[in-house]
Chains A and B, each alone.
Chain A
Amino acid sequence: MKLEEEVVRRQRSRALITALLLGAFVVLMFFITIAKTGKNW
């Protein structure tokens, strides 16, 4: 495999996973905020 192709492939897969994790983190923070503010905990 050529270096250029492999670098692009890895960057793409990492970018996709980073995007998914960031999305999950935003959703998690939303629900954490609801839980922390919704109840005197």
Chain B
Amino acid sequence: MPAIELTNPAALPADWRDLLALTKPRVMSLVVFTALCGLLAAPSLPPPVLGFTAILCIALGAGACGALNQWYEADIDAKMRRTAGRPLPAGRMDRQSALHFGVGLAFFSVLLMGLASNWFAAALLTASILFYVLIYTVWLKPRTAQNIVIGGAAGAFPPLIGWVAATGHVSALPLLLFAIIFLWTPPHFWALSLFVRSDYAAAGIPMLPVVAGVPSTRRQIFLYSLPMAAAAVAPWLLGLTGAIYGASAAVLSAMFVLLAARVLANRATEPARMAPEKKLFAYSVFYLFALFAVLVADRWLAA
């Protein structure tokens, strides 16, 4: 091989760190946590190694979604400051490697889930991967401002899959967990999209603040926080959890609605003056972690 100067990093074998970055590890942490909580909240627990494998499969499935999303959106990512440093837009990897990596991870995660847990969980994992890649990334995201609303279902699957991996069937509580994340996703992402809307506008993605404007997005954030709060306390009201979860969910959700109300009251349009939006975005991540952690604690204390 000729010893020439390195000018095109994408022509080289991809570095393992870039392959890891394709899986969006930060997003994966929330997926893994909610899936683990879904599994731990189930009435019957699988042997530890099978529980671990189920969570591993969900994590790998989420990684596959991240890789396929970055493969499909490499051109869009290059136009946004937030994503321009990713391996594909930065030119550190060729697109075909990302595609092969994503498809390989997806197949492996589903196959292992079916063999180690059950094929119902594997089918749900397949549905969540296909939903995220085809329905959200390819179809909805570039076409409609409702992309996050419908696409949020993809992120709501993990606790449901965790529960099904443990029990083999679906019941009311995992469906409510699905509903909580489904209703949490719009205010979470719209809070972010308010202070990075110029990025989305530059990339031509029709996020709500770009299409409907900032005041309308603030209204929608507040309106969505109300059914989300109702879904969060519903497991307690329906007698599926104890008072520890009920009281915690009520307090955490009231705080969420309060922060959403502050977003609604904000009139600023420059990202530098969007402190309420940034606070709501940060709190929304904490909220989901805390809510699911309390759910598991409540179920275990009651057992």
A binds B: yes
Q: Which of A1, A14, A28 contacts B49, CB < 8 Å?
A: A28
Contact check, B12 vs A7: say whether CB atoms are below 8 A apart.
yes
Main secondary structure of the interface of B (DSSP, over half): loop
Main secondary structure of the interface of A (DSSP, over half): helix
**Which of B1-9, B213-221, B236-244, B295-303 sits within the interface?**
B1-9
Kindly state whether residue A26 has any CB partner on chain B within 8 Å. no
Q: How many residues of A contact B (CB 8 A)?
A: 20
Contact check, A13 vs B16: say whether CB atoms are below 8 A apart.
yes
C-beta contact mask, A15-41 vs B, less than 8 Å → 1, else 0? 001000000000010011011100101
Residue of A nearest to B50 (CB): A35
Q: Which of A1, A2, A5, A17 contacts B16, CB < 8 Å?
A: A17
Q: Which B residues form the contact surface with A (CB < 8 A)?
A: 1-6, 12-16, 46-47, 49-50, 53, 56, 115-116
- 21 CB contacts below 8 A, A to B, read A2-B6, A3-B1, A3-B2, A3-B3, A4-B3, A6-B6, A7-B1, A10-B13, A11-B13, A13-B15, A13-B16, A14-B15, A14-B16, A28-B56, A31-B49, A32-B115, A34-B49, A35-B50, A39-B47, A41-B46, A41-B50
A3-B5, A5-B3, A41-B47 known; 6 new pairs, CB 8 Å cut-off, are A2-B3, A4-B1, A6-B6, A11-B13, A32-B49, A35-B49
